[in-house]
Structure 1
Amino acid sequence: MHDVSETLTQAWRVTVLTLAITIAIYAGLAAAEWLASCVLYASMHRNPILAGWSTWLDALEAWYDGRLPNMGRRVVGAGLMGLLVAFGGPALAVYAWLEQASRRPLYGDARFANEAEIRRAGLL
């Protein structure tokens, strides 16, 4: 019975981890879409705060249908910038955190001894 319990616990861990990763990806895509909408509005010299969640998708569909000629570079650039900021920013933060966590001190952990440590070593 103990083995079944461990197997179920492992299955739940995998399920929760998969669900968390899926939610994080969808949240990142939603953030990327909103950021792309803001960048697109800013590139058109409009107030980016007024950009809605689906502004970028609407612009992409309009460009694809031919209703927004000469806007392809702005639409694609805004989409790439949104993806870069939404996924690249957190990835860069995790990389920096892991890099700093594994770094050892440049000159070791040297410090001055206090008086009790000097007496214990018999130097006083």
Structure 2
Amino acid sequence: MLKDLAPGIKISISRSISKSFEQYMGRIGWDENKYNLNDFIKEWREYIINSSSWYSQLSEEMKADPVFHEELAVKINETIEKVFNEEPTPAQIEEIEKLQAKHGKEFDYSCKMEAKYIIDTYKN
């Protein structure tokens, strides 16, 4: 079902997952001990209902279909895995090194999105 959607909708789904995940992880301070998949799914669902354009383009039948939900679960897992596997850029690493020196603190980060969170948090 998911694979049969228009390319723009598939891209929008991935972006909504990624954007919601970034917001959720930022809200919990990228603390893996606070991460809860059910909480994230709730926030993502709220985001797609209130802020995404693709959700309103789906039929009610599709929204209720268990197969579609299974495929979305796979897509969510793939997108989150992709986020965690995307390495920080050299510019981000350089910026974090400067922030570590400035704040006298070592920052733990493992992916590009988490590096962005650290830079945004400690630069302001």
Please indicate the TM-score interval, normalised by the length of the shorter structure.
Answer: under 0.3
Tell me the TM-score normalized by structure 1.
Answer: 0.26
Tell me the TM-score normalized by structure 2.
Answer: 0.26
Larger Rg: 1
